[in-house]
Amino acid sequence: MDEVLWAAWMYYEQGQKQEFIADQLGISRASVFNLLQKARDERVVNISIDPTRMSQAVLSNRIKDLYSIDTCYVLPLSTSGDPVHDQIGRLGARVLEQLLRPGDTIGVAWGRTVLAMSQHLQNLNLPNVTIAQVTGSSAATFAFSPPLCTSNIAERLNARCVNLHAPGIVSSPDVKKIFMAEPSIRTHFALLSQCTKLLFGVTPIVGRTLLVEGEFMTEEELQSYRDLGAVGFASGYFYDRAGQIVRTEFDNRHITMPLEELRQVPERICVGGGPGKAESIRAMLRAKLATILVTDDRTAMELVSEGG
């Protein structure tokens, strides 16, 4: 344990060669390499890119102006092995790390990218940070479910984790009302209304979607939104191409942060990108759900080009 630290210090801060360190510690150079590997794995060393730079590129600024958001971070997407949502999660992690302040309360939705992001966060240790689940859980348990996204992020940030102990969807509007009147649920929503930051993904609603596959809703329920012109879903709400929120009776059974309160949150970070998501993201931006966007360069190109 201590050896990892010493090796890391000598290598990364003092710029010593592995061989020198091996001599000092009386072990083989290969072992020094292993110690350094461990140091990286256990995040004893932080190697990270200043995310503000990612928002200074030309593309970022055009998007920022075009959609009147506060900041846009654009990732240079490479043909590496990692899937797109993983790479975006990585940049999202850097962004959150930079934006995080002591005393923050962060509302977290769910999704593949949000989970990926949680996995790439460094272990930070700012005082008095709270991570709160924005949406109730779905019936099925899958890797990127709301409680998992929330608790993963809280763990990495050494923050208080507040899960929402309620289903995401209930059977009738009346049941929702009953739930919402419960003291423990009321407390949770009171906390949510205090959020200083919000974190969510986007999903288009064409073809097979996570919404249906995650047993969050049925194909029929989803279709009813499509019929009303919805093109995407983010932070708990559906919206159409023009950025208008689309509602059906489903909303009355959905236990999630109210739209008015959501829009009050000063910093609302949306992480999302990859092929086929551009249209959905464009509409989401028009709906003013996000103030900060983290995406990839391909999607960013689409966002500025077909100004449709």
Partner DNA sequence: GATTTTCATTGACATGTGCCAGCACGAGTT
Partner DNA sequence: AACTCGTGCTGGCACATGTCAATGAAAATC
Provide the minimum distance between the beta carbon of 31 and DNA in the complex, in angstroms, as a whole number: 3
**CB closer to its own copies, 8 vs 154:** 8
- For residue 42, the minimal CB distance to its own copies (Å) is 9
Residue 145 phi/psi, 5-degree rounding, is: -70, 160
Q: 94 vs 176, which CB is nearer to its own copies? A: 94
Residue type, 215: E
Q: How far is the CB of 82 from DNA (least distance, A)?
A: 15
Residue 40 Cβ, how far from its own copies at the closest point, in Å? 10
Identity of the residue, 90 or 253, whose beta carbon is nearer to DNA in the bound complex = 90
224 neighbors 250 (Cβ within 8 angstroms): yes
Residue placing its CB nearer to its own copies in the complex, 82 or 306: 82
Residues that bind DNA (CB under 7 A): 11, 17-19, 27-31, 33-34, 36-37
Instruction: Report what 34 binds from DNA, its own copies, none; CB cut-off 5-8 Å by kind.
Output: DNA
User: Encoding tokens for residue 7?
Assistant: 């090796």
The crossing angle, in degrees rounded to 10, of helices 112-120 and 146-156 is: 20
Taking the complex as a whole, the smallest distance from the CB of residue 211 to its own copies amounts, in Å, to 29
Q: Which residues contact its own copies (rule: CB under 8 A)?
A: 2, 5-6, 8-10, 12-16, 24, 43-50, 52-54, 57-58, 75-76, 78, 80, 82, 87, 90-91, 98, 101-102, 123, 125
Q: Which does 76 bind (CB under 5 to 8 A by kind): its own copies, DNA, none?
A: its own copies
Judging by beta carbons within 10 Å of its beta carbon (0-12, 13-18, 19+), is residue 301 exposed, middle or buried? middle
Nearest in space to 54 (alpha carbons), one of 101, 92, 89: 92
The interface partner of residue 17, options being its own copies, DNA, none and the CB cut-off 5 to 8 Å by kind, is DNA
263 contact, one of DNA, its own copies, none, CB 5-8 Å limit per kind? none
Helix (H, G, I), strand (E, B), or coil: what is residue 245?
Answer: strand
At closest approach, how far in Å is the CB of 52 from its own copies? 7
In the block, which residue shows the tokens 């072992």? 31
Binder of residue 68, out of its own copies, DNA, none (CB less than 5 to 8 A by kind): none
Nearer to its own copies by C-beta: 11 or 238? 11
179 binding partner (options DNA, its own copies, none; Cβ < 5 to 8 Å by kind): none
Rounded Cα gap, residues 200 and 198, in angstroms: 7
CA-CA distance, 90 to 184, in Å (whole number)? 34
Q: Which of 71, 95, 110 is nearest to 233 (CA)?
A: 110
Do 297 and 87 contact (CB within 8 A), yes or no? no
Give helix 58-66 / helix 297-304 axis angle, nearest 10°. Answer: 50
